[in-house]
Amino acid sequence: MSGASDALGRGRLAQLIGSDGPGGAERVVVEVATALQGSGIETVVFVPKHGEGWLERQLAGSGVSVEHYHLERPLSPASARALADTFRRHRVTVAHSHEFSMGVYGAWASWLVGVPHVMTMHGGRYYAERLRRRLALRAAVSVSAQAVAVSTTCARDMSRALGIRRSRIRMIPNGVRFVPPRRVTLRHELGLGASDRLIVSLGSLYPVKGHVHLIDAVARLRDRHPRLHLAIGGRGDQADSLVARASSHGIQDRVHLLGLRSDVEGLLAAADVFALPSLSEAMPLALLEAMFARCPIVASDVGDVSIALDRGSAGLLVRPGDAGALAAAIDSLLSNAAQAHAFGERAERRARAEYDLSRMVDRYVDVYRSALGTRP
């Protein structure tokens, strides 16, 4: 990182994000900003005014500066100019925006100031179906030094939706920082004994995460594994419907919604199986964390999940939305301890080789270094 640090020594690198809740893109911003600041690259993170404050709390004590912005609606030249003025005040030398809204406004403000802009798309749901958003994002890409996607499927979809060459988009997979658990309390919290089996799933409680299908799968396994429990970590507006779904199967005492948790490592350490039942993903951080934790994994074959799991050699892949396939794969791991252990070992080795946080940060530093040689 030393070359980039020297080049950025007279100013700051900006990270911009359109929300500050505990989502995947927001976590990437926290990790990248903290790593850059720790390496001597002065960093400022832009978050929306009147947000949750989660992201800012994660940065507390890191030395990273936090700046709040406000966007007028609809597309606002005044907001772009205000953002550009803030870039000047912070002496921003490279701006890195995440997701659609700040991808557009970050590119616009960078163009006004004359600093290079990098944008990362973590998914395509925010723009793919709306022409005006696709046009705005295409314009943002055209004035950016580099467009980045976090998965090969995300890069492919971005290329098709925006009508730009695939070679214009660099793929940088997400990475995570592995932290051994300090305490493992989940089984005690749930009142589970040594003979109880536990599936853990992590993700926001939204339909796209597919938790309803996982609950259906657990219901199918009720007789074969009478001491099986499911714990889901995350929050969202589907909580009540998931409770109702479990009740409809008569397994409400086996399904535990944990809410938002800060002890992810401890949750994973308590699991017999980690399940990712998503209907759509790019490169989910929860999957990478489960790999580092050496969990036996069952995951939907969506996005780059198959690539992360080495085409099924580091975890079992199932069709998305297929409760029967989920149940069969979970049963296979619960019934064969040697197989489950082997999958966990291979997952950890692959995570350490490909998805460590330092690899992701180094790749972004290479992008920043290249961007410093360009101007919009």
Are residues 60 and 49 part of one domain? yes
Query: Residue 159: is its pLDDT beyond 80?
Result: yes
For residue 224, what is the domain's CATH number?
Answer: 3.40.50.2000
- Of 35, 99, 283, the C-alpha closest to 173 is 283
* 290: helix, strand or coil: helix
Residue 240 lies in a domain: yes
- Of 217, 277, 215, 271, the C-alpha closest to 243 is 215
Structural domain including 102 reads 2-175+357-371
Give pLDDT tens digits for 72-128: 988 899 999 999 999 999 999 999 999 999 999 999 999 999 999 999 999 866 676
Residue 181 lies in a domain: no
Amino acid letter, 272: D
Residue 81 has φ and ψ, to the nearest 5°, of -65, -40
Give pLDDT tens digits for 237-262: 999 999 999 999 999 999 999 999 99
Are residues 191 and 115 part of one domain? no
- Of 151, 59, 93, the C-alpha closest to 355 is 151
What's the pLDDT at 123? Answer: 81
What's the pLDDT at 374? Answer: 64
Are residues 257 and 190 part of one domain? yes
Are residues 316 and 267 part of one domain? yes
**Mean pLDDT of the region 12-33:** 95
- Of 76, 127, 118, the C-alpha closest to 94 is 118
Are residues 268 and 169 part of one domain? no
What's the pLDDT at 100? Answer: 93
Residue 306 lies in a domain: yes
Residue 155 makes CB contacts below 8 A (sequence gap 6+) with 149, 166, 169, 170, 171
What's the pLDDT at 296? Answer: 98
**Mean pLDDT of the region 53-77:** 94
Give pLDDT tens digits for 290-326: 999 999 999 999 999 999 999 999 999 999 999 999 9
Q: What is the pTM of this model?
A: 0.92
Mean pLDDT score across all residues of the chain: 94
Residue 78 lies in a domain: yes
Asked if 175 and 288 count as a contact pair (C-beta separation under 8 A), the reply is yes
Three-class secondary structure assignment of 36-92: HHHCCCCEEEEEECCCCCHHHHHHCCCCCEEEEECCCCCCCHHHHHHHHHHHHHCCE
H or E, element range at 148: strand 146-149
Are residues 325 and 285 part of one domain? yes
Residue 273 has φ and ψ, to the nearest 5°, of -145, 140
* 373 band by pLDDT with thresholds 50, 70 and 90: confident
Are residues 216 and 147 part of one domain? no
Asked if 295 and 270 count as a contact pair (C-beta separation under 8 A), the reply is no
